[in-house]
Amino acid sequence: MRASVVWIESPSWELDFYGLPHTLPWPADASPESAHEHPLNLEVLLEAIDRLGDSAVEPWVGFRSATGLFQDLSESLEEGEVVRSRRLLEEIERLHPDSPFVQFQLGNLARLEGQDVLGVELLTAAAKKAPNVAPILSSLGSALAQAGRPGDAVQAFRKALEINEKDQAALDGLTKLKALVRLMRQTPDGQPDPQSVGYVDLDTFSQMIIGQIDAIAQEPEQLLALADQLMRDGLVLDVALLALEKASQVQPDNARAQLMLATAYRASGKHEEALAAVLKFTELEPTEATGFMHLAQAYNTVGDAVHEKAALQKVLECDPNFHAAIGIRFELSQGEHDPAKEEALVEWASQHGSWMGLLIASSIARTRGDAASALRHADAAFAIAPEREEVLLHLSAVLGEAREINRLATQIRPAIDSRKYSVRLDWNFAQTLFQHGFKDEASGVLRRALSLPDAPEEFKNMAAATLENWAGILTGCGVPLQMRPGSHLTKPILITLPDGDGGILIGAGRNLPTNGTFPWKHFHDGVAEINLQQGETGGDTNPQPLGTFRVGNISSAEDAGPLECQLSVTDDGDIQFRAIQNGHRLPVGWRPPQQAPELS
């Protein structure tokens, strides 16, 4: 015979989360103190409910039934199965109605799918039912921040911290919103200690920095470094301004201090002070074009068009290749194609030896489709500055468009071989070669650039993927994915089967970049076709077909290994597909929905 049940009071916030009373059944042979522990031991609570037998009443009966679905729900949420998660939550709601738990989960699902307003509504409703549950409040804060309501988000995060001062989601959220400052303490030898992190509010942080300013008041370079860090982090601009003013007082002839001071004044809305500071900078550095560009901006802000024009003229006297000033001087808009502006720009650039002006004129001609004029202006820029990388990059593209392959070899290839330039030139040159059918030569250029010890990691990734694509062992997808840019997929990627959805390859909510692998056994005559979709059948919207990925040269021999398919999604939302058998990468291709297949 089972031991009896006692009824005890528990302060656990999880009871509010699940919509349960704080007077709960507990096994008589279990420690009553254990009902006060965090997290609440649900297994012990469920044992007590079972012991109640036929005497159990609501909400305990419904909750006991609902918990049988918790494991399935956890797995579906982990896998990003939105439709299944919603159905499980509907059943949990039926068994144990009106719990904040269900609204909390539905709110987070809405956020995952990019439905920010709905997510805020559901989480707000959950927070009203359970106002002392920190995880609900911190999720609400994140939803409000995502929905563009930073002030309300800060309030929600602060309420979460009032309940649990160690709520990491709330601490991180307030840090991102610049309402808290994350400080990393130092080890005894003065090194940052990632394991020892603290958080302070802005007022406390400001006082800390002011004390630091007082300590280094006679060290202008340290003051400038401190202010620079604060401005880059977007923190306590008024304190950064204080450091800059102090540095300017100690060293009034420090040009860098004056320029930084002008930037800080402008960011603070103190436009007359910004103008005075940048004027001081131009007095100290009368040949520095950047200073006069700042001066033009300062005059523009205070509405002085005459002096703004004079400052722009001074910029171009100091540096006739100052791109932004040229654009303003000739009133060029994005996608400019006016031949009259092009002609005026060429005349001015020729008179002032401005290779940048000629490159801009070349771009105007390219936009208009005038390849001959584009090449003529690019050649004129090359004549002025044959060793400038910007000139070589532009000339490479224009020569390719003009199909001047011999000139590419005689003018661009020697510059690449000299290794005096960045791998951007290798990239442009290789792309031009490939576009004109010189696949092997283009691949060779990229491989040589990849072998350079100082090649940037981003270039290595791009070049490696491009080489795979050119070799036909990597393919992309021409259908854009539904995603939050630089964040996560809002709907999962699945296999499309004739009789419905196949398995989920990459779940909704996965942070980008991400990848998944899956085996494929269905092929005929050495070819496999795999249809993919984004989104599940039965969701709020119909699934989006992603087209067909095709794999060729599959071995059907008895000893042939399985076909391993690899799917990657970049942080830009681009799909990349590969297929491997017995360690060999196979040729792959992609076709849009309803089109004939074609291998790369």
Give the pLDDT confidence of 214-258 residue by residue, as tens digits: 999 899 999 999 999 999 998 899 999 999 999 999 999 999 999
Distance of alpha carbon 478 from alpha carbon 492, whole angstroms: 17
Distance of alpha carbon 141 from alpha carbon 73, whole angstroms: 24
Distance of alpha carbon 124 from alpha carbon 561, whole angstroms: 53
Query: 375 φ, ψ to 5°?
Result: -70, -40
What pLDDT was estimated at residue 192?
63
What pLDDT was estimated at residue 168?
94
What pLDDT was estimated at residue 524?
85
Q: Which amino acid type is present at position 466? A: T
Q: Which of the four pLDDT bands, split at 50, 70 and 90, describes residue 19?
A: very high
Residue 189 domain-assigned? no
CA nearest neighbour of 352 among 395, 389, 319, 390: 319
Answer whether residue 24 shows pLDDT above 80.
Answer: yes
Q: Which of the four pLDDT bands, split at 50, 70 and 90, describes residue 32?
A: confident
Residue 222 domain-assigned? yes
What pLDDT was estimated at residue 532?
95
Q: How far is CA 254 from CA 208, 283, 292, 455, in A?
A: 26, 11, 17, 37
Mean pLDDT, to the nearest integer, of 359-365? 97
Cβ-proximal residues to 282 (8 Å cutoff; 6+ apart), any chain: 288, 291, 292, 295, 314
Q: How far is CA 428 from CA 209, 360, 412, 423, 449, in A?
A: 47, 18, 10, 9, 12
Task: Please report which helix (H) or strand (E) contains residue 135, including its range.
Answer: helix 134-146
Cβ atoms of 296 and 308 within 8 Å: the answer is yes
What pLDDT was estimated at residue 595?
58
Q: Are residues 446 and 485 in the same domain?
A: no
Cβ-proximal residues to 324 (8 Å cutoff; 6+ apart), any chain: 293
125-169 pLDDT per residue, tens: 999 999 999 999 999 999 999 999 999 999 999 999 999 999 999
Total of domains in the chain? 6
Residue 199 domain-assigned? no
Question: What is the domain range of residue 285?
Answer: 216-304
Q: Are residues 500 and 573 in the same domain?
A: yes
Mean pLDDT, to the nearest integer, of 342-361? 97
Q: Which long-range contacts (CB under 8 A, 24 or more apart) does 575-584 make?
A: 575/476, 575/477, 575/481, 575/493, 575/546, 576/465, 576/474, 576/475, 576/476, 577/474, 577/475, 577/476, 577/477, 577/549, 578/468, 578/473, 578/474, 579/520, 579/528, 579/551, 581/554, 581/555, 582/555
- Helical pair 150-163 and 168-176, crossing angle rounded to 10 deg: 150
* Tokens describing residue 345: 């720009």
Cβ atoms of 91 and 68 within 8 Å: the answer is no
What pLDDT was estimated at residue 36?
85
Q: How far is CA 101 from CA 13, 29, 63, 133, 318, in A?
A: 12, 29, 11, 10, 65
> In the listed set 258, 274, 304, which residue is the last one of a domain according to the structure?
304
Distance of alpha carbon 158 from alpha carbon 143, whole angstroms: 14
Supply the CATH number for residue 530's domain. Answer: 2.60.34.10
Q: Are residues 407 and 485 in the same domain?
A: no
> In the listed set 426, 445, 471, which residue is the last one of a domain according to the structure?
471
404-435 pLDDT per residue, tens: 999 999 999 999 999 999 999 999 999 999 99
Q: Are residues 225 and 296 in the same domain?
A: yes
Average pLDDT value over all residues in the chain:
92
Query: 85 φ, ψ to 5°?
Result: -60, -40
Q: Are residues 440 and 353 in the same domain?
A: no
Written in H, E and C, the secondary structure of 38-92 is CCCCHHHHHHHHHHHHHHCCCCHHHHHHHHHHHHHHHHHHHHCCHHHHHHHHHHH
Residue 122 domain-assigned? yes
Cβ-proximal residues to 24 (8 Å cutoff; 6+ apart), any chain: 7, 8, 10, 15, 35, 45, 48
Q: Which long-range contacts (CB under 8 A, 24 or more apart) does 70-79 make?
A: 73/105, 77/105, 78/507, 79/492, 79/504, 79/507
Q: Which of the four pLDDT bands, split at 50, 70 and 90, describes residue 1?
A: very low
Q: Are residues 467 and 479 in the same domain?
A: no
Instruction: Give the residue, 344 or 539, on which the prediction is more confident.
Output: 344
- Helical pair 439-450 and 457-470, crossing angle rounded to 10 deg: 150
Q: Which amino acid type is present at position 400? A: G
Q: Are residues 299 and 339 in the same domain?
A: no
pTM over the 0.95 mark: no
Mean pLDDT, to the nearest integer, of 535-548? 90
Distance of alpha carbon 373 from alpha carbon 382, whole angstroms: 14
Mean pLDDT, to the nearest integer, of 174-194? 79
Looking at the chain, the whole-number percentage of residues with pLDDT higher than 70 is 96
What pLDDT was estimated at residue 2?
56
Distance of alpha carbon 157 from alpha carbon 135, whole angstroms: 10
Q: Pairing between strand 575-581 and 584-585?
A: antiparallel
Residue 188 domain-assigned? no
3 state DSSP class of 271 = helix
95-113 pLDDT per residue, tens: 999 999 999 999 999 999 9
Q: Are residues 440 and 502 in the same domain?
A: no
> In the listed set 410, 440, 471, which residue is the last one of a domain according to the structure?
471
Residue 600 domain-assigned? no
Q: Are residues 22 and 124 in the same domain?
A: no
Q: Are residues 262 and 242 in the same domain?
A: yes
* Tokens describing residue 257: 């201090």
Strand-pair partners of 200? 181
Q: Which of the four pLDDT bands, split at 50, 70 and 90, describes residue 392?
A: very high
Rounded to the nearest 5 degrees, what angle is found at the Cα of 351, between the Cα atoms of 346 and 355? Answer: 60
What pLDDT was estimated at residue 596?
46
Cβ atoms of 321 and 359 within 8 Å: the answer is no
Supply the CATH number for residue 252's domain. Answer: 1.25.40.10
Question: Where does residue 457 rank: exposed (0-12), middle (13-18), buried (19+ CB within 10 A)?
Answer: exposed
Mean pLDDT, to the nearest integer, of 183-188? 72
3 state DSSP class of 349 = helix
Residue 311 domain-assigned? no
Residue 599 domain-assigned? no
Cβ-proximal residues to 581 (8 Å cutoff; 6+ apart), any chain: 554, 555, 560, 561, 562, 563, 564
CA nearest neighbour of 48 among 65, 30, 34: 30
* Tokens describing residue 443: 């691949």
283-336 pLDDT per residue, tens: 999 999 999 999 999 999 999 999 999 999 999 999 999 999 999 999 999 988
Q: Are residues 581 and 479 in the same domain?
A: yes
Q: Are residues 497 and 579 in the same domain?
A: yes
Instruction: Give the residue, 259 or 189, on which the prediction is more confident.
Output: 259
